Amino acid sequence: MHKCKARDIFYFLIYSSVYLSFSGSSMIYVSYMIQGVQPDLKLFLVAFLMTFAVYNINRMTDEEEDSISHSERYAFTQKYGTFLLSSALLGYLLAILLAMSKGVDTALVSLIPLFCGILYSVKWAPKGFKYRRLKEIPFAKNIVIAFAWATTMTILPCTISNVVTIRTWITYIFLFVSVFVNCIVFDMRDAEGDAISGIKTIPAVIGLEKTEKLLIQLNLLVGLLIFVLTLRNLLPTITYWLCLATIYTHLYVVSFVKGGNAGFLCDVIADGQPMATGILVYTGNKLIG
């Protein structure tokens, strides 16, 4: 019975996007630390609520694909859909109000994921257009998601510090590539559902082997860039720990391609990458400090 309850809790955290929302908070923590900005607790909550809201709204629009490639999550969404959608809308409203308390610019930045999420998921273009939502445009899916989260999580701390430095740009590059890689790993898993829905993803177009090489090269390039800039004292010592995060990413990409448990690797390991990075950066900060 205890195992059953533990499993139910686990699935609830994963399929309700609560687990992913902690990754959102971890992402902004990493952004704070790299940029050298004093963390603000309100923005941690803003990041959590934004992530929770956007991904639950997205679940409602992705039911067709989920029914094919992720039947368990589809069943969960069908059962709790009304509750999750109402919680998501309420959560985003609270996120905007919290962001507004830090300033209008902070509130406007917090709207980026919602705006991109609507353009990405909702069929806003009139009938007759070849593409009616951004996710249907070849390769746009990954770029839009990476842009939304990297931009939001990088700029939110800047609205507090009012300072943009090389650290800001490195933060953006690291977060963009991290999210981009994660998205493509999910595309590998969801290839069948995306194909039926007419969504052309990178794995569907260039194949699994070339996709693996692309992800490994991107991840390695970012890790090398961060290492060199830190070695030359252009970045703080704490950014060495981001190189360990790129090793984490490398390992789960390779594991996925070699036939690892796709559900576990995507829903737990890939979605947990920002949390793993946050733990690494936190540990590094404590050891250095």
Residue 175 has pLDDT above 70, yes or no: yes
What local confidence, expressed as pLDDT, does residue 27 receive? 95
CA distance 106 to 152: 10
* Confidence bin at 188 (pLDDT 50/70/90): confident
**What is the structure's pLDDT at 261?**
80
Helix axes 2-15 and 71-100, enclosed angle (nearest 10) = 60
Residue extents of the structural domains in the chain: 2-288
Buried/exposed code over 94-113 (b: 16+ C-beta within 10 A; e: otherwise): ebbebbeebeeebbebbebb
Q: What is the topology classification, in CATH, of domain 2-288?
A: Farnesyl Diphosphate Synthase (1.10.600)
Question: What's the average model confidence in pLDDT over 187-203?
Answer: 72
Model confidence at 2, in pLDDT bands (50, 70, 90)?
A: low
pLDDT for 134 equals 73
Cα dihedral across residues 210, 215, 218, 224: positive or negative: negative
Question: What tens digit of pLDDT does each residue of 8-66 get?
Answer: 788 888 888 999 999 999 999 999 999 988 888 999 999 999 999 998 888 776 666 66
Does the global pTM surpass 0.85?
A: yes
The tens digit of pLDDT for each residue in 238-270 reads: 889 989 999 999 999 988 878 778 778 888 899
